[in-house]
Structure 1
Amino acid sequence: MPISLAKRIIFLSLVILSVANLQGCRIYQSLGKSIPGSWLHPVNGPEYSLPEDVDMERNALIVIYRPNSQWASEEIESPSVYIDDIREFGIKNNAHYWFEVEPGKRHIVIRRPLLGLEGTSHFSLRIISDFTVNLQAGNTYFLRYSELTPPPMDKAVSEEEPVGDGALFLIPEELAYRDLLTTKFDDHSGRFLTYKMEYHEPEKYEELQAQKDDGSRWYWPF
């Protein structure tokens, strides 16, 4: 990309961010986070293995991975993965990520940035995937991300259609395992995610917050 064009894009991005901020819009951006991608900074963590200290009686486990490809390995900016409207990581080539999560619905969105800018509340540069997964305690969910190849569904393993959107799909462990063995762990994951009532149940959350502000004992029904 010519330097002059890059400067223009950066200037335009700053203008858009400034205007959006003045109007009170939510700004989606990964400045300093999306760059470098796999081309400049490939993932070199440990080989694939599941964590052993997850409380599977109370929680669930999400494993998100991106299989190896030449195209993805040359990526300068990695797409951003949002879980419940919070940016958790930039998904890189030949990498896997895991999160221990409380049961419930999880809204997953993948956005592709341009020099760190991804959009605002009113527009998005590009949304690659957007769907919700309902998680149950005791289960492990495997999500495969690839813009080049479809999910490798095998009727011998599962007759069900894959669940997902765009380039991200929920697939059976048996099929995910074929790809995961060659991936590396990215330490931008490996965290515990709580259920966000303010995101999934905003009315109930606002009601509880109002009760707290009033000084009432919202946790005692009598």
Structure 2
Amino acid sequence: MIRLLAALGMLFFLTGCTWDRTLGAFFDPVDGPRFQAPGAAPEDRAYLVIYRPYSEWAEDELEAPSVYVNGDVAVNIKSNGYALFNLEPGKYDVVLKRPAFGQDLFFMEDSFLEEQPVNFNRIGGFQINAAGGQTYYLRYSELTSPPYDPASKQELLGDGPLQFVSWRSGKDELGQTRMLQPLMVLAAPEIVEVVEEPEQEEGSWWLFGLDTVELW
């Protein structure tokens, strides 16, 4: 145990003291306020709730995965924790990644590594098309499936352990979770229109030759 702690301390020092951002519940248990339902979302905004139910395995986690929204770190999702986001209507790329001492495990994710069968960095992800007045509940668990909601007629959507659930399905688990961080307000990314310039037709080499070659 002493050797393990010494090794972890050395790695923490070598990574520029950035490991605290990804500490798991083993080192930093969630102690925020209990979950409170956000209420109805305004017509011009949307709510996104990301939560992780309690498990003994997650409680022993040294580092917890991070949720990235549109390429930026949004929350470190630890055992028995939740985070609330206030979204401007629009499209959001949500990706869950597994870190290594405060850093992404693969620094070349956009290279050939992304296409390999096993990617130890990426856990799951998809795009959310947030609509005004809507509240979305996103559940992360690698051990259990979401509670069954017989009243919900929609099939579960998600990517592996990261799945959307209904309020009826997730409310009991959510009621046990604690706040990971204060409310985060996010703006939808701007849509940049790419205007393609018309291709210029190449001049005929024969006509070009008329200007440079003396004809007999």
Determine if the TM-score, normalized by the shorter chain, exceeds 0.5. Answer: yes
- Measured in 2, the distance between the counterparts of 1:179 and 1:157 equals 17
Q: 1:178: Cα distance to partner?
A: 1.4
Structure 1 stretches of 4+ with a deviation exceeding 6 A read none
Aligned to 1:26: none
SS at match of 2:169: helix
Aligned to 1:172: 166
Paired residue for 1:184, among 174, 178, 192? 178
- Measured in 1, the distance between the counterparts of 2:41 and 2:172 equals 26
Q: 1:55: Cα distance to partner?
A: 6.2
Q: 1:58 to 1:74 in 2, by over 3 A?
A: same
SS at match of 1:174: helix
Q: Is the 8 A contact 2:92 2:130 kept in 1?
A: yes
Aligned to 2:156: 162
Q: Is the 8 A contact 1:145 1:169 kept in 2?
A: yes
Q: 1:88: Cα distance to partner?
A: 0.9
Q: Is the 8 A contact 2:91 2:189 kept in 1?
A: no
- Measured in 2, the distance between the counterparts of 1:157 and 1:126 equals 35
Gaps of 5+ in 1: 15-29, 208-222
SS at match of 1:68: coil
SS at match of 2:168: helix
Aligned to 1:141: 136
Aligned to 2:209: none
- Measured in 1, the distance between the counterparts of 2:185 and 2:103 equals 27
Q: 1:128 to 1:88 in 2, by over 3 A?
A: same
- Measured in 2, the distance between the counterparts of 1:55 and 1:180 equals 18
Q: Is the 8 A contact 1:109 1:129 kept in 2?
A: yes
Aligned to 1:47: 34
Compute the TM-score of the two structures, normalised by the length of structure 1.
0.73
Q: What RMSD in Å do the two structures reach over aligned CA positions?
A: 2.7
| Alignment: residue pair count | 181
What fraction of aligned residue pairs are identical, expressed as a percent? 34
Aligned to 2:201: none
Aligned to 1:196: 189
- Measured in 1, the distance between the counterparts of 2:50 and 2:156 equals 15
Letter aligned with residue 81 of structure 2: A
SS at match of 2:100: coil
Aligned to 2:20: 32
Aligned to 1:109: 95
Compute the TM-score of the two structures, normalised by the length of structure 2.
0.74
Gaps of 5+ in 2: 114-118, 196-216
Q: 1:161: Cα distance to partner?
A: 1.3
Letter aligned with residue 49 of structure 1: Q
SS at match of 2:170: helix
Q: 1:50: Cα distance to partner?
A: 2.9
Q: Is the 8 A contact 1:153 1:171 kept in 2?
A: no
Q: Is the 8 A contact 2:68 2:75 kept in 1?
A: yes
- Measured in 2, the distance between the counterparts of 1:168 and 1:144 equals 6
